[in-house]
Amino acid sequence: MQELFKQAQQMQKKMAEIQEQMAKETVQASAGGGMVQVTVTGSMEVVDVQIDSSVIDPQDPAMLQDLILAASNEALKKARELKQNEMSKLTGGMNIPGMDLM
């Protein structure tokens, strides 16, 4: 029982290290042929949005909104994949319920 507790503590420590690392890792996605780029950390924080001035059309704000949404969603998807890959390293590829990096 004591060994199991020790293993749980080690895993908890590794998870904290991974969470810290994930906050430093970034992924980027773009939409509209690169006209809108969004950068997200591995901890799911949007840290940068770049918009090419040529897509800023006051007559069509919906298009820009769609591009921002598309790039943001793709960047968040990449960040989730990065997070899953890191968790997989920790768990040896096993999907353990409740073992999620927030």
Question: What is the structure's pLDDT at 69?
Answer: 97
Rounded to whole angstroms, the Cα distance separating 85 from 18 reads 11
Q: Give the pTM.
A: 0.77
**pLDDT in 10s for each residue of the chain, 102 residues:** 788 888 888 888 888 888 888 889 999 999 999 999 999 999 899 999 999 999 999 999 999 999 999 999 999 999 999 988 888 877 665 555 555 544
The mean of the pLDDT values for the chain is: 88
Partners of 49 in beta bridges? 38
Contact 59, 96 (CB under 8 A): no
Task: Please give the radius of gyration of the chain, using alpha carbons only, rounded to the nearest integer.
Answer: 18
pLDDT on residue 72: 97
pLDDT at 19: 85
Q: Using CA atoms, how far apart are residues 23 and 101, in angstroms rounded to an integer?
A: 11
Architecture of domain 24-85: 2-Layer Sandwich (3.30)
Q: In what order do the strands lie in the sheet with 36-41?
A: 26-31, 36-41, 46-51
pLDDT at 6: 86
Report the C-alpha gap between 27 and 102 in whole angstroms.
16
